Structure 1
Amino acid sequence: YEVAVIDEIQMIRDPSRGWAWTRALLGLCAEEIHVCGEPAAVDFIRELMYTTGEEVEVHNYERLTPFSVLNHAVESLDNLRPGDCIVCFSKNDIYSISRQIEARGLECSVIYGSLPPGTKLSQAKKFNDPDDPCKILVATDAIGMGLNLSIKRIIFNSIVKPNINEKGEKQMETISTSQALQIAGRAGRFSSVFKEGEVTTMHREDLPILKEILSRSVDPIKTAGLHPTAEQIEMFAYHLPDATLSNLVDIFVSLSQVDGMYFVCNIDDFKFLADMIQHIPLNLRSRYVFCTAPINKKQPFVCTSFLKFARQFSRDEPLTFNWVCRHIGWPVAAPKNIKDLVHLEAVHDVLDLYLWLSYRFMDMFPDTASIREIQRELDDVIQTGVRNITRLIRATDPNITDPLQTQGNSLDQAGNSRKDTGSTFLTKVRGQRGPGGRIDSSLASRLVRDGLLTPDLLKQLQREWSQSSSRSALLSEKTNKNSKGKKKKK
């Protein structure tokens, strides 16, 4: 290429995906590479390019419109104004808040990470249109990258989000300065009708913490992510012919020594896929490529499709358009509830997986044009579902009839996620236990039916809660006995 552009270069330090930016930066064959991103990356990129003998020019650009942090929190959805964007870090909060907003007679757009790009753009266009009655946006941090939005005020519904630590474990963390600035920077963009942006929080107690986060300087980037290449793994496999791909990668990482400019990225997702297709007869290079596929391992349908793709590939049978349509059940019906919408998002991810693999195995994934066509049609179906998201939420949880009564103006339920985003589901289950700590049967059957719990997991939870209740009862009994003993002595 004559010119290449790499955006969001600060992602080079991402513990899971940083290796992709490192490979792009060091591997691109271009006369000139334009790198865009945070100032925190400048010194590191300059140093990295020095080791390869490249010439580096730095151009600093000033933000054309300022934003300010307000001195008061919003506190209630009744205080929303046109141009507001409420940022959540949980899909449950997205659903809850969007429903409460529409219950107040207001329209809102919804944007979150697992939506197809076309749907995100459609929702952004709806929000940006001055003639559209939709003046409020509810979104995750997905708005931080790749979307132009006419936002006046960013409202953080929470300042903690789920994160993956170095061990690959999920934990709740306060958002970093980098993340906070990325999101806050969406307020008052130069191209929007709002020439000055505002930033605040939904909850009063979060505001001083957010101010402190935004006042810090962003930590400079010091290392870039790496991932074992196919060639390196093949070399290991030559000396360890009986080792599985998962074992090979584990051994490679444990023996790797990197200098101070690099770190080895978390390989748990790679190993997860490697273990999933270990029983399928594939050559090592193909197996490696399959395991670097960017899929959401939390989606059962996506994982099942990945497995079927690998199995069909191993038989040397091309994955045709008709084969894919049979697998995904095309044509699809419009979503009737949130579960249907989530499934359609997973189907879209499966079509993305097909296209990703088609770039690497063109002869085995030949029908890219047809797949793109049905993906566009699917995007339209998902867009319709998202436009009617509050109706889908009501269909998913028919027990809730009046969000204003059940949720309240104080956003108590949505606020629970500030301390433990993602705990909404467990809180809901714990709140409906029957005698002996067992889950209420109607709730349990609904959770199993909807695929939110497996029967085995349900039994395990019931055992744990039963044991917990027994321990509590014993402790209470001992306390009562001790209390009676003290009274007798007196």
Structure 2
Amino acid sequence: MTDRSQPHDPSSITPASPAERALEQAEAAFGAHLAITPRERAALLRQVARRLGADKTEINEAELLHALCQVRRRSWANGMMNRAHRNGDVWVRKADVLLAAERISDPLIDEDGQSAVLESVLEERWRDMADTPLRVLDDMRADLADTGTFLSGTQIERLSHSIARAFGGVDLGFEDEMILEEERRAREQEDIRAKAEARRARELQKIKDWEATLVSFEKVPALLHCSRREALRWIGENRIPVAKRDMQPDGLEIFHFDPAELKKCRPLLNGWRRGTGQKGDESYDDSPEARRGNAAIARVAALDRFAAHFRTARALKRRITLVTGPTNSGKSHTALEALAQAESGLALAPLRLLAHEFRDAMLSRGVPASLTTGEERIIDPTARHLAATVEMCPFSNPVDVAIIDEAQMLSDPDRGAAWTAAIMGVPARHVFILGAADCIPLVRRIAELCNDPVDEIHLERKSPLRPAGTLALTDLRAGDALIAFSRRDVLDLRAELMAHNRRVAVIYGALSPEVRRAEAARFNRGDADILIATDAIGMGLNLSIRRVVFSTLRKYDGRQTRNLVSQEVKQIGGRAGRFGKHEEGLVCVLEGAGRPSFIRQMLDAPPEPTLELRPLVQPDADIVQAVAQEMESDSLYGVLTRIKRAVLRPDDPNYRLADMEQALEIAAALEGVDGLDLSTRWTYAMCPINTRDNGIPRLVEWAAFHARGQRIFPPGTGRLPAAATAGREELERAEKRHRRLVTWRWLAMRFPKHYPELVVAERNATILDEWIEQVLRTQSRMRESSRRHQSSRTGPSRPPEDHSYHKKIPHGRKAGGFSKKKPHNRRKKD
């Protein structure tokens, strides 16, 4: 461009480009008032150049204005976003300001004009989100709460004004209605919190008061009128109930005793001395003093006799066939054949996706089958077979054959109790239990507690599995699966591989079963070269994987970041080498992520010894009701707190109490909600939620509506941008909305009167599923189209061989691995 600031020798002046000449002419003719800055001029020249052709040397006024708008859009968008931040308008998103900037056609627009365009974009967004302003406000509050953002009164008022304008303005009273509703909601939530805190304190005080009445061992002989030696012997024989045990720092255990319980033992002493009496020979003391004791509660709960709870199963003559083996050993084939040939049957799976696969397997064999999961039911009235998730096991209807899959989950601290209940309680004459070899000791122990005979079958892999060293990211080829252990790492790897022109499918826990299945199908068809997945692929999903490549050998398990254990490497790595597709399966590690020898050691390691053979158990609705009646309490928090402390001794020889922390947390929050009976509260406490997404406060709010007899409508989809332009933030937001719908649908299956419009919820879930899959599929296809276009211009290309991707590692990444991140507070349920 010509520099006009100094005189030049005409012979030294660089000739102006066509774009420069066209811009100078346009400015002179009609652009003097546009105040084009030197900083804008270079970008504006590029815009002008695009508008010129072989026969075109000038631009008109409209073209100049449009080109200048293109140049100024980024600064407009930044300005609108900064003003939104200053105003506290946290609902304004990057996509909103970009769309608003795109719509501006006046290059001299001022801030007020920009705000007006942005407001019109927001109003369109509100109308797209839901049919009424209150529903829009609910969805927006939920979206913001998912990110930990809660609105002040002023913010609620500003947001209400914006939504009201979208639906007709102040004249229809929307604003006043929404503001009053939010004020009422805020007061109610504060009241619920205050009541919950007071009631929790009251329940804990009851326990504290009871504990204050306990006595040490030194007082037991006097209260029982026996010798010290007799008291010690009867305690050792579990005749005298120990009310409370305290472990001292030096490992010494201190026993405490309930005087009321000791009083009940007095009539039994002569029989104990003769060796003929047993505790419990005499009639039960039903006095209020006896009722408050932990021992009485433990008797009612009877978790130390858990197998006896399942009366239908105990009435049957059951036979268990335990089929164990690694992944790709065909464990389910024999069991499915037996199930299909039986007159009636049941298949229990760990995930909704796998329950669908069991049902599909029966339908493919010509056997009608129904489906029951936490959030979905497909009932065929002619069917005598059922596929279900483990937690939905029916305990009262006898069948001929049952399958319980993935029995190694017995050791899972979060869900293991569900497998214990299913194996002990499934009412089938022949029970096939499938799992990795690690489950053998626990299944044997459960069978022993149930007095059921066990046949054992161990299978080997149908195709060999072997370690195969280290790979660079650029060495990945079609048929490879790259494993990470968080959504963020999966999407980071996806971006890197797509930058190398690779077609990618992804599978991680936040995706719904429908999207996971669609992504798996893309990979199996060859529409995607490489699959990037978390350990969500470890159970189910038929995947045609040749090589499994670990991007890291450490994972955060909800409690700590640790090395992978052998069963995890075998379970995930075993997905490689699908029989009939690949001659062998290969397990590798990404360059820089760890030692290949670690993979070899884990694959060769024998099953890890099971040090704890006591199966995990947890109370059900009947046990909760029985304990509540015994305590004469309607507080779920109080009941669960007492169950946690009382129903199983730490040294119980047969059972362990499962983790009840999330149920206790929900129960504590529900203490402030009046009008729900104990059974309803227990159902809410069992609801699957993600506590990182504001799950408990939202659940309590829904429960409060339920208690008042109000209806809770299904969450919406929100405004979904075009799949091709959606970023990671929009994708995560859609995933969170889908999780909200999962929770809502789960509750709708149990409280249809209070959670109406299930069809709408299912439609919204389908819309989100299809949009998420379209985002993942479309963006990969766009990358492939871009690669082909580039190839057609420059000739055939292939992935680079110099492994130089290490030079472009995103912030926070290590070579081939990932930096540590802050752990989440709560566990994940799939």
TM class by shorter chain equals: 0.7 to 0.9
1:188 maps to which residue?
A: 577
C-alpha distance in 1, partners of 2:457/2:574?
19
Contact 1:90 1:422 in 2 (8 A): no
Q: 1:174 aligns with which of 538, 542, 563?
A: 563
Contact 2:447 2:454 in 1 (8 A): yes
Match of 1:252, SS? helix
1:112 maps to which residue?
A: 508
Contact 1:246 1:275 in 2 (8 A): yes
Contact 1:86 1:156 in 2 (8 A): yes
**Pairing 1:283–2:677 present:** yes
Quote how far apart the aligned CAs of 1:277 are: 2.6
CA distance change for structure 1 residues 10 and 91 in 2, over 3 Å: closer, same or farther? same
CA distance change for structure 1 residues 418 and 389 in 2, over 3 Å: closer, same or farther? same
Quote how far apart the aligned CAs of 1:235 are: 3.4
CA distance change for structure 1 residues 51 and 241 in 2, over 3 Å: closer, same or farther? closer
Deviation sequence 1:318-342 (CA, Å, 0-9, x none):
44xxx22xx4356755563222211
1:51 maps to which residue?
A: 449
Quote how far apart the aligned CAs of 1:58 are: 2.2
Amino acid at match of 2:637: S
CA distance change for structure 1 residues 367 and 22 in 2, over 3 Å: closer, same or farther? farther
1:154 maps to which residue?
A: 548
1:278-357 to structure 2, matched below 5 A, reads 278-281=671-674, 282-300=676-694, 302-319=695-712, 323-324=713-714, 327-328=715-716, 332-333=720-721, 336-357=726-747
CA distance change for structure 1 residues 409 and 27 in 2, over 3 Å: closer, same or farther? same
Amino acid at match of 1:378: L
Aligned residue pair count: 399
Q: 2:821 aligns with which of 422, 425, 439?
A: 422
1:274 maps to which residue?
A: 667
**Pairing 1:214–2:620 present:** no
Quote how far apart the aligned CAs of 1:260 are: 3.5
Quote how far apart the aligned CAs of 1:198 are: 0.3
Amino acid at match of 1:217: P
Percent of matched pairs sharing the same residue: 26
Amino acid at match of 2:639: L
Quote how far apart the aligned CAs of 1:262 are: 2.6
Quote how far apart the aligned CAs of 1:286 are: 0.9
1:401 maps to which residue?
A: none
2:618 maps to which residue?
A: 227
CA distance change for structure 1 residues 308 and 370 in 2, over 3 Å: closer, same or farther? same
Deviation sequence 1:299-327 (CA, Å, 0-9, x none):
13x445423332222123344xxx22xx4
**Pairing 1:198–2:597 present:** no
C-alpha distance in 1, partners of 2:454/2:759?
40
2:337 maps to which residue?
A: none
Quote how far apart the aligned CAs of 1:23 are: 1.5
Q: Which moved more, 1:203-212 or 1:361-370?
A: 361-370
C-alpha distance in 2, partners of 1:43/1:202?
35
Deviation sequence 1:461-487 (CA, Å, 0-9, x none):
xxxxxxxxxxxxxxxxxxxxxxxxxxx
Which structure has more relative contact order (CA 8 Å, sep 6+)? It is 1
Deviation sequence 1:343-380 (CA, Å, 0-9, x none):
21122222222332233334444543443233222210
Amino acid at match of 2:729: K
Larger radius of gyration: 2
1:303-452 to structure 2, matched below 5 A, reads 303-319=696-712, 323-324=713-714, 327-328=715-716, 332-333=720-721, 336-388=726-778, 408=807, 413-415=812-814, 421-423=820-822
Amino acid at match of 1:251: R
Amino acid at match of 1:107: R
C-alpha distance in 1, partners of 2:501/2:595?
27
Match of 1:408, SS? helix
Amino acid at match of 2:636: L
Amino acid at match of 1:30: A
Quote how far apart the aligned CAs of 1:160 are: 0.8
How large is the RMSD of aligned CA atoms in angstroms?
A: 3.0
Q: 2:431 aligns with which of 33, 38, 44?
A: 33
Amino acid at match of 1:408: K
2:534 maps to which residue?
A: 140
1:73 maps to which residue?
A: 470
1:24 maps to which residue?
A: 422
CA distance change for structure 1 residues 277 and 424 in 2, over 3 Å: closer, same or farther? closer
C-alpha distance in 2, partners of 1:30/1:358?
29
C-alpha distance in 2, partners of 1:292/1:331?
31
Unpaired runs of 5+ residues, structure 1, are 165-169, 393-403, 426-490
Quote how far apart the aligned CAs of 1:414 are: 3.2
C-alpha distance in 2, partners of 1:244/1:233?
10
Contact 1:153 1:187 in 2 (8 A): yes
C-alpha distance in 1, partners of 2:445/2:535?
30
C-alpha distance in 2, partners of 1:15/1:186?
24
2:356 maps to which residue?
A: none
Quote how far apart the aligned CAs of 1:179 are: 1.0
Amino acid at match of 2:432: H
Quote how far apart the aligned CAs of 1:161 are: 0.6
C-alpha distance in 2, partners of 1:178/1:340?
35
Match of 2:501, SS? coil
CA distance change for structure 1 residues 2 and 334 in 2, over 3 Å: closer, same or farther? farther
2:367 maps to which residue?
A: none
C-alpha distance in 2, partners of 1:361/1:330?
25
Quote how far apart the aligned CAs of 1:197 are: 0.8
Contact 1:90 1:140 in 2 (8 A): yes
Amino acid at match of 2:564: I
Contact 2:806 2:815 in 1 (8 A): no
Contact 1:99 1:390 in 2 (8 A): no
CA distance change for structure 1 residues 385 and 241 in 2, over 3 Å: closer, same or farther? farther
Match of 2:488, SS? helix
CA distance change for structure 1 residues 407 and 248 in 2, over 3 Å: closer, same or farther? farther
Deviation sequence 1:376-418 (CA, Å, 0-9, x none):
22210111122356899xxxxxxxxxxx999636788433795
CA distance change for structure 1 residues 17 and 286 in 2, over 3 Å: closer, same or farther? same
Which TM-score applies when normalising by structure 2? 0.45
Contact 1:110 1:123 in 2 (8 A): yes
C-alpha distance in 2, partners of 1:417/1:136?
16
Contact 1:158 1:415 in 2 (8 A): no
Match of 1:158, SS? coil
Deviation sequence 1:8-45 (CA, Å, 0-9, x none):
11101111111111122222223332211112212321
CA distance change for structure 1 residues 410 and 344 in 2, over 3 Å: closer, same or farther? closer
1:91 maps to which residue?
A: 487
C-alpha distance in 1, partners of 2:644/2:563?
29
Match of 1:59, SS? strand
C-alpha distance in 1, partners of 2:810/2:692?
28
Contact 1:12 1:19 in 2 (8 A): yes
C-alpha distance in 2, partners of 1:254/1:266?
12
Quote how far apart the aligned CAs of 1:89 are: 0.9
Amino acid at match of 1:89: F
